[in-house]
Amino acid sequence: MNLQNTNLDKSVVVMKVEKDFSLKNNNTFGIEATAKYFIEIINLEELIQILSNPIYKNEKLLILGGGSNLLFTTPFFDGLVLHIKMKGVEISKEDSTHVILKVGAGEIWHELVMYAVSNNWGGMENLSLIPGTVGAAPMQNIGAYGVEIKDIFVGLEAYEIATGKVKHFSLEECKFGYRSSIFKYNAKGQYIITAVSFKLNKQPSFTTSYGAIADTLKEMNVLELSVKAVSDAVIRIRQSKLPDPKEIGNAGSFFKNPEISLAQFNKIKSVYSEIPSYPTLSEMIKVPAGWLIEKCGWKGKIVGHTGVHKNQALVLVNYGHAKGEEIKALSIEIQKSVKEKFDIALETEVNFI
């Protein structure tokens, strides 16, 4: 990744409008779906131009990044897909301890992490190898191994569809929570994120107490922690644990880990003493959705062209020709059985389109 000015405010080029466009290569589930219109957006002018064009005024809109957190539930998307490809990374502020990067929404998240790692700037290394784009990352406050983007987030710019104005959102205004933000809930469908700013640390401290990071660093014979060493460890763990969408279609964790009351947790624990749990900032207890799904007997189950991954009960997969409806139906069956067995309502992390 080269340091360059963001092209968010630059040249207007003639946009190519694709009709009846296959989205199969634009979603990590590999679902065969077709869009009525599909347009790549490389800068703000293009976005404004398209959204003020009367032809598309009444079209349903889908903002698409890497397609790694969505499920097409019908074979035809009857509307306009805007594929966000706004590129650019610029240093907007720098001093002896920190650097603030402003990054175009269409940059690939993992490439940005690798850029930070190569400069020895700390803060993003635990989020290595998460698929998708920078613009989608605030949508669900992406997180892994004890770090969420809210921890390094400075602000973002978003185009407000109703007014055509670009608004700035601070950390507080984004209302980040566990896999959530204002953009995923209260303001859903109202904004298109165009650029995000992050603050990285030139004298980083590291979060290594989550998952297998510490053990993996030991296995790798790392004697001195560094941004690169932690990133390498995270990549190693993820590659060994998570199914690669290039080999088997999936969108990572399909459900969020539910948070339940202590009373409900104790009730379940009296039957299943081994139930794992994580503390939360509130009085609630977080339990792994994957464990609940596994206890309901779904792990490794194949249902038609879809199923639950054999090693990761939280990951639903496409065995080749699954339709979005089939995966959605399987997810509903899983939700039903978790509700029946544990009285817990699983919420999907993946966005249904």
Ligand X SMILES: Cc1cc2nc3c(=O)[nH]c(=O)nc-3n(C[C@H](O)[C@H](O)[C@H](O)COP(=O)(O)OP(=O)(O)OC[C@H]3O[C@@H](n4cnc5c(N)ncnc54)[C@H](O)[C@@H]3O)c2cc1C
Binding residues for ligand X, rule: CB under 6 A, are 28, 62-70, 84, 105, 130-133, 135-137, 139-140, 142-144, 192-193, 242, 245, 250-252, 351
Integer Cα distance of 230 and 195 in angstroms: 26
Q: Which is nearer to ligand X, 6 or 28 (CB)?
A: 28
Q: Is 253 a catalytic residue?
A: yes
Q: Which is nearer to ligand X, 84 or 275 (CB)?
A: 84
Least gap, CB of 160 to ligand X (angstroms): 11
Of 68, 107, 179, 326, the active-site residue reads 179
Q: Contact, 132 vs 26, CB < 8 A? A: no
Integer Cα distance of 346 and 292 in angstroms: 9
Question: Which DSSP symbol is given to 257?
Answer: P
Least gap, CB of 194 to ligand X (angstroms): 7
Contacts with 60 (C-beta within 8 Å, 6 or more apart), sequence order: 77, 78, 79, 80
Q: Which is nearer to ligand X, 68 or 331 (CB)?
A: 68
Least gap, CB of 337 to ligand X (angstroms): 24
Q: Contact, 64 vs 71, CB < 8 A? A: no
Which DSSP string corresponds to 217-232? HHHTT--S--HHHHHH
Q: Contact, 330 vs 307, CB < 8 A? A: yes
Of 128, 231, 253, 331, the active-site residue reads 253
Least gap, CB of 191 to ligand X (angstroms): 6
| 3-state helix vs strand vs coil in the chain, percent to 5 | 25, 25, 45
Q: Which is nearer to ligand X, 135 or 258 (CB)?
A: 135
Q: Contact, 143 vs 179, CB < 8 A? A: yes
Of 46, 125, 157, 349, the active-site residue reads 349
Least gap, CB of 11 to ligand X (angstroms): 20
Contacts with 333 (C-beta within 8 Å, 6 or more apart), sequence order: 303
Question: Any alpha helices (H) in 102-226, and if so which ranges?
Answer: 109-118, 171-174, 213-219
Question: Which DSSP symbol is given to 92?
Answer: E
Least gap, CB of 185 to ligand X (angstroms): 11
Q: Which is nearer to ligand X, 29 or 291 (CB)?
A: 29
Q: Which is nearer to ligand X, 30 or 268 (CB)?
A: 30
CB atoms within 10 A of CB 20: 10
What residues act catalytically?
179, 253, 349
